[in-house]
Amino acid sequence: MSQLTELYQEVILDHYRNPRNAKPIEKETHSAEGHNPLCGDDVEVHLLIEDGVVADVSVRGVGCAISTASSSLMSEAIRGKSLDEVEQMFERFHAMVTSPIDAPAPIDGLGKLEVLAGVRNYPVRIKCATLPWHALKSAIAGSSEPVTTEAGE
Amino acid sequence: MTSVRDAVSFDVERIRRDFPILGKGIAYLDNAATTQKPQRVIDRITRFYREQNGNVHRGVHDLSVMATREYEGARQRIAKDINAKSEREIVFVRGTTEAINLVAQSFVRPKLKQGSRVLITAMEHHSNIVPWQAICGETGAKLDVAPIDDNGDVVLEAFDRLVRKGPVIASFASVSNALGTVNPIKEMIEMCKSNGVPTLIDGAQSVPHTRVDVRDIDCDFFAFSSHKAFGPTGIGALYGREELLNAMQPYQYGGDMILYVSFEHTEYAPSPARFEAGTPHIAGAIGMAEAIDYVREIGDFRLHENRLIDSAVQRLHEIDGVRLVGMPKRRMGVVSFLLDGVHPHDVGTILNESGVAIRAGHHCAQPLMHRFDIPGTCRASFAFYNNEAEVDALIAGVRKAKEVFSQ
């Protein structure tokens, strides 16, 4: 598989064309926006957290294939997970997409999210994949400030 | 003057050899962001540092005298190139952005009060929006925006109506960095003049393609960057009418911009020193003038550039699923487009894999993108050193992007 076909593999294109959990949810307890000022990508994360578990989720945005697919895959991955599990998933996902390209990507415990490992080869696109995750983290932390990909990384 | 023979005989393959970065596998179509540098400009900057480096305007020693002569010589060269009345009308700045900020802070801001107006157009780069927005916000003035039509041309009747409201300044691009629209600046300046409205022209995207005559267009200020015109980064020029410049407040304060300083009072030097506090980018100014000399010597490339752009427009248009953004009456340098169902950033990444460098995104013109209700575009932008093989590479890359996304 070439780097390009690894980046734009079928699963990613499918989630780009048909993003999951993109409809508004009726009840929510947490939300946040994410913004990438360099490319103009926007994402909104809405969560219903009950008893420390992500009971419902909606992720919507305007962006490239990578950020849209990452949002969609994230929404599937976190549904029904405890906040501890979500936190761990954030760390693992971040570690995968920022890992050095001369070794296999650490994909343990990431399930379907591993399809995004290909962004490692495209440093300028890593932020596309991490944008929804930063918005998620911000929503859970209850911060009202929109996150941007330019505020540290 | 260049002859018809020059236009026909412009030899792009010979010209390409002047640019060491070209011909190494990258089709460079991001010239609206920055242009590549000919060896001659690189050598000139090196020679300054190797043989002529000293600070300007202060030393009695030979190196300082030489540096001053070269730096002021560069100013004269630029004044002559744009047909300014005098080199005192040329202020060296970091680039177009700083030139606009200088006019905003020193010429416009002191005149603004509640109810004053500033006029721009809907196609401006952020650098010709935000400085005005900031000073309008601080003073209670209003920022008027002349609309553009669906082709990406300014609606001149609307522009004229806003001019008649008497803005403190009208500031607009000669060529749009995002759409390639060539504005009818002479006509627009005339509208402003007949209503006593001063004008600032953002020339960043026209200077790389065509020579400006500031006395012919009759603007009050003209701003441009060297790095978009084959010279070094970090240097540009602001042209301003001398009487306006000398009536303006300084922009920054420090050494080299004064006549006399005591702890109670300072008398400022006239233009251009008034606006050049501190040690300037001496090597940059010299490199900028060298780039102008180079461009004026290679012959008339307008026909070559126009053919290339026409070809790119035509061939992109032929690809099913490609939509051109902006079909202005006159176009210079830039082709903006979208590929159906593929975000510009994904097109940009796939083109990069195919060895084609374009810009993807909002091009620092977010309000313009909102106008067309799109998040951004793919922008291919050309310079005289581009060739048809690079258009081929662009077209192949766009087809490749289409293929990747059609699986």
* Closest CA in chain A for residue B347: A64
The reply to whether A128 touches chain B by the CB within 8 Å rule is: yes
Domain definitions of chain A by residue range: 3-144
Distance from CA of B108 to the nearest CA of A (A): 29
State the Cα–Cα distance between residues B18 and A113, nearest whole angstrom. Answer: 48
Contacts of B403 in chain A (CB under 8 A): none
State the Cα–Cα distance between residues B167 and B199, nearest whole angstrom. Answer: 10
Q: What is the ipTM of this complex?
A: 0.88
Q: What CATH number is attached to the domain comprising B306?
A: 3.90.1150.10
Q: What CATH number is attached to the domain comprising B248?
A: 3.40.640.10
Domain that holds residue B290: 42-296
Give A91's strand partners.
none
* Contact (CB, 8 A) for A25 and A56: yes
Q: Is the pLDDT of residue A3 over 70?
A: yes
Q: Let me know whether B112 and B240 are in one domain.
A: yes
Q: Let me know whether B50 and B182 are in one domain.
A: yes
**Residue-wise pLDDT tens digits, A43-68:** 999 999 999 999 999 999 889 999 99
The total number of structural domains in chain B stands at 2
Cβ distance of B350 and A4 shorter than 8 Å? yes
Handedness of CA B361, B364, B367, B371 (dihedral sign): negative
* Closest CA in chain A for residue B367: A40
Phi first, then psi: what are they for A50, rounded to 5°? -125, 125
CA dihedral B56, B58, B61, B64 (to 10 degrees): 0
Inside any domain, residue B180: yes
CA atoms within 13 A on the CB side of B312: 33
* Contact (CB, 8 A) for B93 and B84: no
* Contact (CB, 8 A) for B209 and B332: yes
Give one word for B363, left, alpha or beta, with left for phi > 0 and alpha for psi -120 to 50: left
CA distances from A13 to A9, A65, A66, A77, B209 (A): 6, 7, 9, 17, 40
pLDDT of residue A145: 63
State the Cα–Cα distance between residues B160 and B175, nearest whole angstrom. Answer: 19
Q: Which helix (H) or strand (E) holds B30?
A: none
Tell me which residue in B353, B360, B407 faces A13 most closely, judged by beta carbons.
Answer: B407
* Closest CA in chain B for residue A18: B341
DSSP state of B178: T
Cβ distance of B405 and A8 shorter than 8 Å? yes
**Mutation choice for A interface testing from B126, B339, B345, B362 by most A CBs within 10 A:** B345
Tell me which residue in A5, A17, A122 faces B349 most closely, judged by beta carbons.
Answer: A122
The reply to whether A123 touches chain B by the CB within 8 Å rule is: no
Q: CB under 8 Å to A3, separation ≥6 — which residues?
A: A118, A121, A122, B353
Q: Which helix (H) or strand (E) holds B360?
A: strand B359-361
Which of B296, B319, B354 corresponds to the end of one domain? B296
Tell me which residue in B344, B366, B404 faces A4 most closely, judged by beta carbons.
Answer: B404
State the Cα–Cα distance between residues B370 and B360, nearest whole angstrom. Answer: 16
Distance from CA of A49 to the nearest CA of B (A): 31
Q: Let me know whether B256 and B310 are in one domain.
A: no
Distance from CA of B343 to the nearest CA of A (A): 5
Give B332's strand partners.
none
Inside any domain, residue B149: yes
The reply to whether A4 touches chain B by the CB within 8 Å rule is: yes
Locate all alpha helices (DSSP H) within chain A, ordered by sequence. Answer: 3-7, 10-17, 65-78, 83-97, 126-141
> What is the SS3 assignment for A22?
coil
Inside any domain, residue B250: yes
Contacts of A4 in chain B (CB under 8 A): 349-350, 353, 404
Contacts of A38 in chain B (CB under 8 A): 361
In order along its 407 residues, chain B shows pLDDT tens digits of 444 444 457 999 999 999 999 989 999 999 999 999 999 999 999 999 999 999 998 778 999 999 999 999 999 999 999 999 999 999 999 999 999 999 999 999 999 999 999 999 999 999 999 999 999 999 999 999 999 999 999 999 999 999 999 999 999 999 999 999 999 999 999 999 999 999 999 999 999 999 999 999 999 999 999 999 999 999 999 999 999 999 999 999 988 888 888 989 889 999 999 999 999 999 999 999 999 999 999 999 999 999 999 999 999 999 999 999 999 999 999 999 999 999 999 999 999 999 999 999 888 999 999 999 998 999 999 999 999 999 999 999 999 999 999 97
Q: Let me know whether B51 and B174 are in one domain.
A: yes
Contacts of A3 in chain B (CB under 8 A): 353
Which of B277, B296, B315 corresponds to the end of one domain? B296
Q: Let me know whether B80 and B166 are in one domain.
A: yes
Inside any domain, residue B349: yes
**Mutation choice for A interface testing from B346, B358, B359, B399 by most A CBs within 10 A:** B346
Q: State the pLDDT confidence band at A1, using cuts at 50, 70 and 90.
A: low
Inside any domain, residue B36: no
Q: Is the pLDDT of residue A152 over 70?
A: no
Burial B159-197 (b: 16+ CB within 10 A, else e): bbebbeeebbbbbbbbbbbbbbbbbbbeebbebbeeeeb
Cβ distance of B362 and A5 shorter than 8 Å? no
* Contact (CB, 8 A) for B133 and B117: no
Contacts of A62 in chain B (CB under 8 A): 375
Q: Let me know whether B263 and B331 are in one domain.
A: no
Q: Which helix (H) or strand (E) holds B86?
A: none
Which of B296, B329, B360 corresponds to the end of one domain? B296
Distance from CA of B284 to the nearest CA of A (A): 28
Pairing of strands B199-202, B221-225: parallel
Q: Let me know whether B145 and B245 are in one domain.
A: yes
Cβ distance of B361 and A39 shorter than 8 Å? yes
Q: Which residues of B are catalytic?
A: 364
Q: Which helix (H) or strand (E) holds B324?
A: strand B322-324
Inside any domain, residue B37: no
Query: Rounded to an integer, what is the distance from CA A103 to the centroid of its chain?
Result: 23
Q: Let me know whether B211 and B83 are in one domain.
A: yes
Q: Is the pLDDT of residue A149 over 90?
A: no
Tell me which residue in B345, B369, B407 faces A64 most closely, judged by beta carbons.
Answer: B345
Contacts of B405 in chain A (CB under 8 A): 8, 13, 65
Q: Domain A3-144 is of which CATH architecture?
A: Alpha-Beta Complex (3.90)
**Contacts within 8 Å (CB) and 24+ apart, A88-95:** A89/A113, A90/A133, A90/A136, A90/A137, A93/A130, A93/A133, A94/A130, A94/A133
**Mutation choice for B interface testing from A1, A4, A9, A70 by most B CBs within 10 A:** A4
CA-based radius of gyration for chain A: 14
Q: Let me know whether B364 and B219 are in one domain.
A: no
The structure tokens 């409809």 sit at A23
Cβ distance of B342 and A122 shorter than 8 Å? no
Cβ distance of A40 and B361 shorter than 8 Å? yes
> What is the SS3 assignment for B117?
strand
Q: Let me know whether B278 and B400 are in one domain.
A: no
Give one word for B97, left, alpha or beta, with left for phi > 0 and alpha for psi -120 to 50: alpha
Inside any domain, residue B360: yes
State the Cα–Cα distance between residues A78 and B135, nearest whole angstrom. Answer: 46
Q: Let me know whether B183 and B207 are in one domain.
A: yes
Residue in B138, B23, B5, B32 with CA at minimum distance from that of residue B358: B32
Q: Let me know whether B174 and B241 are in one domain.
A: yes
State the Cα–Cα distance between residues A100 and A137, nearest whole angstrom. Answer: 24
* Contact (CB, 8 A) for B134 and B258: no
